[in-house]
């Protein structure tokens, strides 16, 4: 119910941030969406907010290159992050935004939860594990969100859930519940809205 209400009100783009000094005042909670390039972060924000192009999604890995802030009515900021791992952008540019990403993930006091998106076809990879370890060290709670479930069958679904659960055992900052989603089909979107709306 709280989730439905929070996302029934308009969500607006606030700003794109390219340096830690550009972050908005830490005057409310925030949640962010992290994950490898192309995993579906921007698409998930669009699905949550019921908007086609609020966050820009594309088939080109490395589409999101800034930390993008969105405001909810009386709720947390929603933060769309650049992807990590392979991106179709110059090496120096990627290095700069990866450094920003790491500073942000380890140094934002009001960051209440990091949703780490994992492509259900690929499971947790070494680059994901590196980010999860960074979050463990900074004691920032993260929750795994499996994406693109419409692309796999039921048997593979069970397999990837098992792989993720096993991988999470060695991460003290992991929130144990995994969220299963498809931005395409709307699966899990209501669940995720409720999780965000109920954070304190
Ligand atoms: P970067 O900003 O480059 O890091 O990517 P991103 O994680 O924001 O991914 P984005 O939302 O741009 O989506 C990447 C591609 O995956 C797009 O072509 C989307 O249409 C597609 N996609 C995202 N979510 C889903 C999903 O649930 N199902 C399917 N079938 N495709 C999806
Ligand atoms: Mg994106």
What's the predicted TM-score (pTM) here? 0.97
What are the φ/ψ torsions at residue 45 (nearest 5 degrees)?
Answer: -65, -40
ipTM of the assembly? 0.99
The percent of residues above 90 in pLDDT, for the chain, comes to: 84
> What are the angstrom distances between the C-alpha of 104 and each of 47, 66, 135?
24, 11, 11
In contact, 46 and 182? CB cutoff 8 Å: no
Q: What is the pLDDT of residue 153?
A: 98
111-119 and 30-35 strand pairing: parallel
Q: What is the pLDDT of residue 42?
A: 95
Kindly state if the Cβ of 41 falls inside 6 Å of ligand 1.
yes
What's the total number of domains in the chain? 1
pLDDT digits (tens, 9 = 90+) for 60-119: 888 888 999 999 999 999 999 999 887 788 888 888 888 999 999 998 999 999 999 999
Q: Residue 191 is part of a domain; what is its CATH number?
A: 3.40.50.300
Q: What is the pLDDT of residue 22?
A: 96
**Which ligand 1 atom minimizes the distance to the CA of 57?**
12
Tell me how far the alpha carbon of residue 53 lies from the centroid of ligand 2, in angstroms.
11
Kindly state if the Cβ of 188 falls inside 6 Å of ligand 1.
no
Span 189-193, average pLDDT:
97
Range of the domain at 29: 2-197
Across the chain, mean pLDDT equals 94
- Provide the Cα torsion 99, 102, 106, 107; round to 10°: 40
Span 33-48, average pLDDT:
96
Ligand 1 pocket test, candidate residues 37, 43, 45, 184, most atoms within 8 A of CB: 43
Kindly state if the Cβ of 40 falls inside 6 Å of ligand 1.
yes
Span 50-58, average pLDDT:
92
């Amino acid at each position: 119910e709280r989730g439905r209400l929070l996302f029934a009100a308009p969500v607006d783009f606030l700003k794109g941030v390219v340096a830690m000094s550009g972050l908005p005042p830490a005057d409310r909670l925030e949640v962010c969406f992290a994950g490898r390039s192309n995993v579906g972060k921007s698409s998930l924000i669009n699905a949550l907010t019921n908007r086609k192009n609020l966050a820009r999604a594309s088939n080109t890995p490395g589409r999101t290159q800034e930390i993008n802030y969105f405001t909810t009515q009386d709720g947390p900021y929603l933060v769309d992050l650049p992807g990590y791992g392979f991106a179709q952008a110059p090496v120096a540019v990627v290095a700069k935004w990866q450094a920003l990403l790491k500073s942000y993930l380890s140094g934002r006091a009001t960051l209440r939860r990091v949703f780490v998106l994992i492509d259900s076809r690929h499971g947790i990879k070494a680059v994901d594990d590196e980010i999860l370890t960074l979050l463990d060290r900074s004691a920032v709670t993260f929750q795994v969100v499996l994406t693109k479930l419409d692309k796999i069958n039921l048997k593979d679904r069970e397999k990837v859930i098992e792989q993720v659960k096993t991988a999470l055992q060695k991460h003290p900052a992991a929130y144990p519940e995994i969220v299963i989603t498809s931005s395409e089909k709307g699966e899990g979107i209501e669940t995720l809205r409720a999780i965000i709306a109920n954070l304190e």
